[in-house]
Amino acid sequence: MVPNRPNISFLSSPSPPLFLVMCCLVLFFSIGTAEGSSDTFGITTLPFFDGFRPLFGDANCAPSMDGRGVSLLLDRFTGAGFISSDMYQHGFYSAKIKLPSNYTAGVVVAFYTSNGDVFEKTHDELDIEFLGNIRGRKWRFQTNVYGNGSTQRGREERYTLWFDPTKNFHRYSILWTPDNVIFYVDEVPIREIKKVAMGGDYPTKPMSLYATIWDASDWATSGGRYKVNYKYAPFVARFTDLSLEGCSVEPTVVKSAAAVEDICFDAVARLRSRTFSGVTSARRTAMRRFRQRYMYYYYCYDSVRYPVPLPECIAFDPIERARYHDTGRLKFGGSHKRQSRHSVDSGPVDYENSYDQADAR
């Protein structure tokens, strides 16, 4: 959510603890017929300082001993963040992340691409944001897409996770090509949006990769009902096995869109040839099952917010649409639990009622 990004400053905690040992036990989960519980994407990772640098809260940005990861801390003084050293015109951005445990209401961990510091009025952005949690409840997160300054036309989708993201590392990835954007959890595609459908709001300009942890007490958990409790600080988000694949460009030097496309032709061709660049039939089945079971807000069905549908929302499944309120939220009366073969769509729970009217705007 762009309007609520933290103010980036270099104020930091006087003496935060350093986390010197990182446990990197990776547990992959598949949804239905998702391809591969192993790393079939063939992702190339890089050491932290080979591709990134601290963004703010330097003392709360603690590199791992092996140099391949970093811990970001939020305490009562500041959060923390890092940014890629270069900007990329299209790319695959990925990291294994372990979220902070215990009571984390109001704490947002974000993994996203943006160019807002370069293109202030026409910026592009692709978001994965984890929205804090209360012990015993399922973790919630959202994805969003902005292009060419379309921040007033948010395209949020909100979901729950089918695993505990505080127990083990899981891979979260964003693919951005000239044709489509795909969000992945492990190797399960959870959302795809195509340029041909999105039109002029589709992201088009070079972006940096960011990761941040910050206090979003005013909106993140149950619409701001539950605040950050610093009794449980520091809150620690761990990142490892980071990956950046794409076309590195400097937009202040290469100003022509045609010139950028020419420079990036080979890199984009390599992206398009990778396993993660397309959604196979098996992965599309996995994505559909994920969205049936775990998506609880869909902007395309929010006719209160958008009386005139956005261009990619004109065509929709009427059976799926019937499961949602006009506010875009899931109706009451079902379960996200495993469904029988004879009832593919029994309807997930109504989180609007079951979780204190969570995420109310």
CA distance 331 to 351: 8
Name the residue among 165, 181, 188 with its Cα closest to residue 292: 188
Number of H helices, E strands in the chain: 7, 16
Q: What are the DSSP E strand ranges found in 115-169?
A: 125-130, 140-146, 157-160
CA distance 357 to 361: 10
Calculate the alpha carbon distances from 140 to 107, 151, 152 in Å: 12, 22, 23
Task: List for the chain the helix, strand, coil content (%; round to 5).
Answer: 20, 30, 50
Measured between alpha carbons, how far apart are the two ends of the chain, in Å?
Answer: 12
C-beta neighbour count of 273 within 10 angstroms: 9
Burial class from Cβ neighbours inside 10 Å (0-12, 13-18, 19+) for residue 129 reads: buried
Q: Which residues are catalytic?
A: 125, 129
The amino acid present at 97, given as its one-letter code, is I
CA–CA–CA angle 271, 275, 277 (5° rounding): 50
CA–CA–CA angle 275, 278, 279 (5° rounding): 110
CA–CA–CA angle 268, 113, 233 (5° rounding): 145
Identify the H or E element spanning 270. helix 265-273
